[in-house]
Amino acid sequence: MWLGRAKLWSTPLVGLVGGWLASLADWPLPWMVGSLLAVILVRCSGWMLVELPGGRQTGQWIVASAIGLHFTAPVFEQILGYWWVIILGSCITVLLCLIGIGVLRRSGVDRATAYFASMPGGASEMVVLALRHQAEPAKVAAAHSLRLLMVVLIIPALFTFTLPETPTPEPDSTHWGWLALLMPLGAGLAMLWRRLGQPNPWMLGPLTVCAVASVWFDLDIALPAGGGELGQWLIGCALGCHFDRKFFRSAPAFMLRVVLFTLLAMLVAALGAEVLSWFAAVDDISLMLGMMPGGITELCLTAEALHLSVALVTALQVLRLFLVMFLAEPAFRLWTRLQP
């Protein structure tokens, strides 16, 4: 019992050290990337750290609340003006799954596994659908986990080190009264969405509450200093517990192909965003980040850290998530019906 508790509390401590070292090295998103790598390294050394119960959900709750508060009334009006860009960009990103399906099918992976492993989001839901359609759930889960790891390690660094340094804007004020109301409401909506079986409840619930309140009441507030870093640290520790030596040794040929199609999807997304930005007066870098295949949490945090349009990136990611969740299974059934 004592050993189990020590292992449990060792995870956030290891993540804390990793985040601190990454911040000293001036890494992008140091508290998430640093804690993630530290936990992975310790687990690969043989010490099987375990996830802190509720750690990832708490981190998502904090991060989603911070992201939702970016949706001020002027920003929301601007986003509405880009509605066609957001819809088209999200659809293009969903279609990037065709790259993964093509790469995996050519290597002999069965149809259902290739399809659900290539979806750009909704990892846990895709595993459930894989089980329902007689795919290989372990490979589907591994593909989504590896893509998430690549996004966390590559995208923030790529955007941070290739973009010119921008001045840090003045932080918004913290209104404790509003936060005392919005944070519990966000947690309540997350629990309700989880009970209803909706995807990513601890991200979308708090984000919805804070975004609606921010727009409706024309708020201009933010979480207190350190709030974002706390969320990053909890998420990084939780993500790191998905990886160990066994994971990296499993199905090496399949994992190599996942790496290949993920890199290809990133390249196509970047080119698509650049072309799309020619037809709209929208920041091409924010659009490019929003169209990257990856998790909403990691990409929105990257946008916030680089002072890009968090609202645009969030809108693209949320719409893409809903497209994947509600269209993935019907599209697969249509495919199997047309090509039995």
CATH code for position 316: 1.20.1530
Separation of CA 338 from chain center? 33
Q: Which pLDDT value is given to residue 180?
A: 93
SS3 helix, strand, coil % of the chain, rounded to 5? 75, 0, 25
Separation of CA 4 from chain center? 30
- Nearest Cα neighbor of 67 from 329, 330, 334, 295 is 295
* Average pLDDT for the chain: 86
Q: Which of the four pLDDT bands, split at 50, 70 and 90, describes residue 2?
A: very low
pLDDT in tens, 158-174: 887 776 665 555 656 77
Average pLDDT over residues 119-133: 84
**Claim: this prediction has a pTM higher than 0.75:** yes
Alpha-carbon distance 288 to 119, whole Å? 18
Q: Which residues contact 140 (CB under 8 A, 6 or more apart)?
A: 113, 116, 117, 126, 127, 130
The answer to whether 174 touches 221, Cβ cutoff 8 Å, is yes
Alpha-carbon distance 98 to 128, whole Å? 20
pLDDT in tens, 49-105: 888 888 889 999 998 898 888 888 888 887 888 888 889 999 998 999 999 999 999
Higher pLDDT pick, 281 / 192: 192
- Nearest Cα neighbor of 86 from 322, 306, 287, 293 is 287
- Nearest Cα neighbor of 294 from 314, 273, 309 is 314
If you search the block for the tokens 């020619």, which residue do you land on?
278
C-alpha neighbours within 13 Å on the C-beta side of residue 331:
14
Q: Which of the four pLDDT bands, split at 50, 70 and 90, describes residue 223?
A: confident
3-state secondary structure of 12: helix
3-state secondary structure of 221: strand
pLDDT at 209 over 90: yes
If you search the block for the tokens 């991060």, which residue do you land on?
63
Question: What is the number of domains present in the chain?
Answer: 1
Q: Which pLDDT value is given to residue 100?
A: 92
Phi, psi at residue 94, to the nearest 5°?
-60, -40
Alpha-carbon distance 62 to 249, whole Å? 34
If you search the block for the tokens 């290891």, which residue do you land on?
14
Range of the domain at 178: 1-338
Alpha-carbon distance 73 to 149, whole Å? 34
Q: Which residues contact 45 (CB under 8 A, 6 or more apart)?
A: none
